[in-house]
A and B are shown apart, each in its own frame.
Chain A
Amino acid sequence: MRKLAVLATSVALLASSSFAKEISVGVTMSMSGPLAAYGQTAYEGIEFANSLQPKLKNGDTVKLVLIDTKGDKVESANATTRLISSDKVVGIIGELTSTNTAQVMAIAEKKQIPVISPVATNDKLTEQKEFANRVCFTDSFQGAVVANYAAKDLKLKTAVVVVDQAQVYSLGLAKAFTDAFTKAGGKIVKEIKVSSGDKDFKAVVSQIKAANPDFMFLPMYHPEVSMIARQAKQIGLTKPMFSGDGVANQTFIDLGGEAVEGYMFTDFFDYSAPPTQRSKDFIAAYAKKTGKQEMNSFVALGADSYNVMVDAMNRCANPEDSICINKEIKSTTNFEGVSGVLTLDKTGNSTRSAVIKVVQNGKAVYKATVNP
């Protein structure tokens, strides 16, 4: 029996070296549900990067297996199990929100399958995990960027923070911001808690108006933030508003309408200031395919998750060896990505720059780049 197994393995090895095969990479994303805007844009980037670079250097083809998580954490966990056990993926790209990504990473960790999250920024996600990686920055970096920009560049002194307590992302970013803003000499005059899925924030904005801060920090996702912005405008609350990457998409501006004019947020990348040659090429190819110049940063981050994964697979003797892929992901250094120059370390976190954008005339406009 053992001889047979050895024979079978050697035949398989032989086959793998002589014939190109298909290797599956899993993708878990919210393609429907309230956060579908994120999933659809990030997957657009992954798919496009896959079309530009469908083969490994040994000739094997990379096949994407997508499962819709509907933005739900239970669905995210189920999707991960299914990808690993029945689709036999060698690595997983996803999820997008930190809460859902935590589910994906917990399961993949046990099965020793590397995960690259495009945009999940919560600090704790990669702690004490060997197979968890990301191409985005963390909330402690992002929170400090916002806090320093507000305190030093805009000279704002008091802030109200609104936290979405149902989202790990929001809690983490709020804390990072609070710490950095207090350190920079600012003061948080009020913290208000809400829950994702809420639509009515009239009571919340009335509270903020009464507290009269210099500005508001809303570390949440776009469905809630766009409603807060609109309802704030209705009661004549016109203080500056700032968010993290949770609002970095056009849907936010579409939903917010005139109420989000002047809104500021941190993002990973801006198409009008391409940081690398690869971004220039990618943007040009993207423009040729879709007919539009502008590109959402989630597209770039999605593409980079794929690019880093493929790059790591290329550096492994056997591109199906998940443990080797993970090791190579973690030794990605000065990688020229679409969204910028990336360096991943042993913790799975990446060192990269952030950009600050402002909404002007219904478009997110590049304002500044902040390096770590």
Chain B
Amino acid sequence: MDLTMFMQQMVNGFSLGSMYALIAIGYTMVYGVLRLINFAHGDIMMVGGFLGYFGIVVLDLPFGAAVLLAIVGSALLGMASDRIAYRPLRSAPKISLLITAIGVSFFLENAFNVFFGGVPKAFPVPAYLENVVDIVGLTMPVSAIIVPIITAFLLAIILWVLYKTKYGMAIRALAFDVGTVNLMGIDANRIITLVFGMGSALAAVGGIFWAVNYPSVEPMMGVLVGLKAFAAAVVGGIGSVGGAVLGGLIIGFTEVVVIAFFPELGGYKDAFAFIFLILILLFKPTGILGIDFEKSRF
């Protein structure tokens, strides 16, 4: 394999990994504050993709406005899912929450299936994102460059919110101890709503990226991506935002590398994400950048 080919694959892996990372951040933040693996998160991403589609095709909005619609709509949906499905179960055993999350996931998939049908819809990608650029012998669409840049930008915002703002402090405090936070006069429910909103907004961006890179939207598109992003969050260390990004990149690179070096194993590339998951759980259950939740939070 020559250097150009190798670099080309690295670009591919970086672009794919960034998308997993965006979605993994939502898993990790919700887990951090609620100890809930929100299995509906991948479906929020699907809704984000669909909202973008509706913005462009039905409402005839410019691409940027459609993205904004997807972000706001998904954030509201994420917050609503918490208000309706999870908040009534705050004091219930964790397993009830998990089952509810699976229920929310099935509900979203089937509702979209009923209303919009299962046939994939072609996503209208703006021409400037599909343009192919040639950088030192590497050919790639503009979107392959933009995705990691926007991911890095959004990650910076998330880290700034978590570590430099009052709300971020409240989120971190909540991850530490819910009971005490309430005693301190912080409305825990409001903060949890905020976390759902932020995570879902990122998932929407991930959904739009997904729809731009693989130009179609369909109700089941979030299932496998959601599972892999979940694996990414655990591999990186669930509860850690940096870990989610690292885990996303690892999973993305692994997929690409498997095909590049072992084409005959390409059909099993999904298995590698989960092999990582199992190995990590066996040898370092807290993940690479993981946090031991018994000792410290975030």
Contact = CB atoms under 8 A, between A and B. Distances in A.
A201 B214 CA distance: 9
B139 interface: yes
A197 B267 CA distance: 10
Interface residues of B, number: 42
Given A200-B213, A230-B215, A235-B8, A34 B118 contact: yes
B132 interface: yes
B267 A200 contact: no
A203 B283 CA distance: 30
A193 B12 contact: no
B89 interface: no
A237 to B, nearest CB: 9
A193 B264 contact: yes
Contact of A204 (B15, B221, B266): B266
A70 B114 CA distance: 12
A67 interface: no
A257 B266 contact: no
Contact of B119 (A70, A164, A204, A251): A251
B215 A195 contact: no
Nearest to B139: A235
Nearest to A237: B139
Given A36-B117, A193-B267, A255-B215, A203 B9 contact: yes
B62 interface: no
B259 A207 contact: yes
B5 interface: yes
A71 B5 CA distance: 36
28 contacts: A32-B117, A33-B220, A40-B117, A40-B119, A163-B267, A190-B263, A191-B263, A192-B264, A192-B266, A193-B266, A194-B266, A198-B269, A199-B221, A200-B213, A202-B12, A202-B144, A202-B256, A203-B12, A204-B259, A206-B8, A210-B1, A223-B216, A226-B216, A227-B214, A230-B215, A236-B139, A254-B122, A257-B215
Given A200-B256, A203-B259, A203-B260, 4 more contacts: A32-B117, A164-B267, A200-B255, A226-B216
Nearest to B262: A193
A338 interface: no
Contacts of B260: 203, 206-207
Nearest to B223: A197
Interface string A290-334: 000000000000000000000000000000000000000000000
Task: Report the 4 A-B pairs with minimum CB-CB distance, sorted nearest first.
Answer: A32-B118, A36-B118, A203-B259, A193-B267
B142 to A, nearest CB: 10
A234 B263 contact: no
B236 to A, nearest CB: 20
Contacts of B8: 206, 235
Contacts of A204: 259, 263, 266
Contact of B120 (A163, A206, A251): A251
Interface string B18-52: 00000000000000000000000000000000000
Given A200-B16, A254-B122, A234 B132 contact: yes
B210 A199 contact: yes
A62 interface: no
Contact of A200 (B117, B118, B214, B220): B214
B130 interface: yes
A237 B227 CA distance: 31
Interface in A120-171: 163-166
B82 interface: no
Contacts of A33: 118, 220
Given A203-B12, A210-B5, A195 B269 contact: yes
A364 interface: no
B292 interface: no
Nearest to B214: A199
A31 interface: yes
Contacts, number: 111
Given A34-B220, A193-B265, A193-B266, A234 B141 contact: yes
Nearest to A170: B267
B182 interface: no
B140 interface: yes
Nearest to B259: A203
Interface centre among A70, A163, A191, A206 (most CB of B within 10 A): A206
Given A203-B256, A255-B122, A257-B215, A195 B268 contact: yes
B267 A195 contact: yes
A257 B216 CA distance: 11
B146 interface: no
Contacts of A197: 224, 270
A206 B259 CA distance: 10
Interface in B167-224: 210, 213-216, 218-221, 224
A194 B263 CA distance: 9
Contact of A165 (B13, B120, B140, B267): B267
A184 interface: no
Contacts of A365: none
Nearest to B1: A210
A31 B114 CA distance: 11
A71 B120 CA distance: 13
B119 A36 contact: yes
Contact of B218 (A34, A198, A226): A34
A202 B16 CA distance: 10
B56 to A, nearest CB: 14
Nearest to B221: A199
B139 A37 contact: no
Contacts of A235: 8, 132, 139-140
B267 A194 contact: yes
Nearest to A39: B118
Contacts of B214: 199-200, 227, 230
Contacts of B15: 202
B113 interface: yes
